[in-house]
């Protein structure tokens, strides 16, 4: 299931699946943060589970999930991206 979500988010940000997982450029980092937010805050996976899956520290997952969560509330950039990603995920009945 993670790979479907990864692909939807990668397509949304106009990057490849590989870039989503390893690249340090801005779109890839933003995409990765949205991925972690969706997995942790929306779907309920623990920070540790997400961190192990993506070989990062749990602190990174929690920090960037919170950054996206707050961004959705206060910044149009985050809110717009989240609405579009959520619509794509709902079409597939994922969230």
Q: Domain spans of the chain? A: 2-91
Quick: pLDDT tens for 17-75.
999 999 999 999 999 999 999 999 999 999 999 999 999 999 999 999 999 999 999 99
Domain 2-91 in this protein, CATH class:
mainly alpha
pLDDT of residue 1: 63
CA 3 to chain CA centroid, Å, is 12
Which pLDDT belongs to residue 44?
95
The first and second tokens of residue 11, run together, are 């397509």
Q: The pTM is what? A: 0.94
Work out the angle between the directed axes of helices 58-74 and 76-91 (0-180°, nearest 10).
Answer: 100
Q: What is the pLDDT of residue 94?
A: 82
Written as six digits, the tokens of 82 are: 């989240």
CA 70, CA 75: separation in Å to the nearest integer? 8
């Amino acid at each position: 299931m993670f790979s479907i979500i990864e692909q939807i988010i990668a397509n949304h940000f106009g990057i490849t699946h590989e870039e989503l997982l390893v690249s340090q450029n801005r779109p890839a980092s933003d995409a990765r943060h949205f991925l972690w937010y969706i997995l942790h805050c929306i779907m309920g996976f623990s920070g540790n589970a997400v961190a192990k899956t993506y070989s990062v520290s749990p602190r990174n997952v929690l920090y960037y999930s919170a950054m996206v969560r707050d961004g959705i509330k206060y910044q149009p950039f985050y809110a717009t991206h989240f609405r579009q990603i959520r619509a794509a995920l709902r079409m597939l009945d994922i969230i």
